[in-house]
A = this chain, B = another copy of it.
Amino acid sequence: MSAKTDKMVTVPKAVINRLPMYHRFLYQLLLEGKEKISSQELSQLMRITSSQLRQDLSYFGEFGQQGYGYRVETLYQAISGILGLEKQYTAVIVGAGNIGRAIVNYPGFSRRGLKITGIFDNNPKNIGSQVGNLTVMDVEHLADFLKKYPVQIGIVSTPVQAAQKVAYILMKSGVRGIWNFAPIMLEKNGDVVVEDIHLGDSLLTLFYRLNEKEGKN
C-alpha cells in the first residue's frame, strides 16, 4: 500500500533522494523506542529546515498533526510504502571482489528487502569460493542462470573494463534495474533503471571541501 495521494504529482528528484535518509533516521528512532517527534526535532536531526521537511512529506499526503508532530511508526511505515519496501527484490551480483563481498555480507541490505540469489565472477581464483551462503559461479553461466531464475536487479561490481559487457548481458536477460558500482556511465538497452554509486566522485567532493575550508581555492 502506498501513502501517496491520488492526485498525479511529479515528485522532484531531490525529494526522492531525501526519502532514504528519512527512512534511515526514522528506523534509528524506532530502535531507540521513540514514539513521536516534532518536525523541528526531526529536521534538526537531519540538518534540513523544518519547512523543507514538511514540504517534502506533503508530496505524499499529510502525516503530521498540528501541535503534535509525527508518529514515528506511522511515518516510518508510510515512507517504507512509498519506497516500495513492502516487497522483496531479487538480485544477482557480478564481480566477487571486495565490493561484491561487502554487499553480500552487509545485513542492512536484506533488511531493506534485497535478496541476492547468485554471485558471479570470471576469475578462476574466485569461482567456487564461498561468499556468505553463496558459491561464486562462473560469469559464463550468468545468462543461463537468469533464464532459469530471473531476477529484477543486477548489481555490477566488476572492474571498469568489464562493466558495460556485463550490463548488456544483464539487460538482455531481463533485469529491470542495475545498481552500478563501476566508475563508468553505462549505456542502456531499453528502459532499464540504472542507479550509480561513484565512490571516486564522493572522494573528490571531500577533497574539494577540504580545500575550500582552508581557503586555498
Contact = CB atoms under 8 A, between A and B. Distances in A.
A162 interface: no
Contacts of A21: 198, 201
Determine which residue in A16, A101, A105, A199 has the highest number of CB atoms from chain B within 10 A of its CB, and name it: A199
A202 B179 contact: yes
Determine which residue in A82, A87, A183, A202 has the highest number of CB atoms from chain B within 10 A of its CB, and name it: A202
Nearest to A23: B204
Contact of A112 (B152, B204, B210): B204
A169 interface: no
Query: How many copies of this kind of chain does the complex include?
Result: 2
A206 B217 CA distance: 35
Contact of A206 (B108, B195, B205): B195
A36 interface: no
Given A82-B217, A98-B102, A216-B84, A203 B176 contact: no
A60 B145 CA distance: 50
A114 B20 CA distance: 29
A24 B208 CA distance: 15
Contact of A210 (B46, B84, B99): B84
A113 interface: yes
Nearest to A109: B203
A21 B197 CA distance: 12
A97 interface: yes
Given A84-B216, A199-B106, A89 B207 contact: yes
6 contacts: A17-B201, A20-B198, A83-B211, A109-B199, A113-B207, A153-B210
Interface of A: 2, 4, 16-17, 19-21, 23-25, 28, 45-47, 81-85, 87, 89, 97-99, 101-103, 105-106, 108-109, 112-114, 152-153, 176-177, 179, 183-185, 191, 193, 195, 197-211, 213, 216-217
